[in-house]
Amino acid sequence: MNATQDYIRDYMSEPVIEPSGAALLIIDMQYATGSRHGALGRTLKAQGSNVADYRFARIESTVLPSIVRLRAHFHRLGQPVVHVTLGAAHSDASDAPRHMRKLLASCNNHVGSRDHEILDELKPVPGEHVLRKTTVGAFASTAIDSLMRSLGVDQLYMVGVSTNMCVETTAREAADRGYQVTLVEDACATTFEDLHHVTLRNFQRLFGRVAATDQVLAELQVGA
């Protein structure tokens, strides 16, 4: 082992790629925080803040096109596509955990609001699954585990926002439950570029894999 090699890689299991066990999880691609035209974007614009410019530009130029490609490929494979949304049942977010209430209420992220809706480009179609969570990680407040097991899924390909929050937390929860998890690097985004990269670096140390969209399309072949 050379001085720059990370020892933890020696303890990682080799991935087993089996298309029949794969599902695509699209995390929180909603107007509330996933579009510059949503509540977060409108608020920051009104404040004269450009802090989320990187986030929204990356979603528009890289993340959204990558997810569209992946989604179409999973449809061709006949494998599950699952939309996981974040949002409260009530406008005051009283049904959400304490630490999530201000965020959800401030972003108008509750059932029935436009901001809660999934981006039009990814609007769910018949056959896709939609799960709503009130927590950062999906396993804490949805039936995602039982759904995946009922569908025969043990390999999760995760995309969406934010890389270091809902995507990573859900991915870690899944890894601890025995799923093989792949974070699709160019199909995820967060507010700061360095935070995006360090999250991916840390996740692949022990929890799972990081791959690009082209790699995922190549390894998951129709009829494989």
How many Cα atoms sit within 13 Å of 52 on the Cβ side? 25
Domains of the chain: 19-219 (3.40.50.850)
Would the pLDDT of 1 be above 70? Answer: no
- Nearest residue to 182 via CA among 198, 166, 203: 203
C-beta separation of 204 from 210 below 8 A: yes
Structure tokens, 59: 């979603």
pLDDT tens track for 14-53: 899 999 999 999 999 999 999 999 999 999 999 999 999 9
Rounded CA-CA distance 71/133 in Å is 21
Overall pTM > 0.85: yes
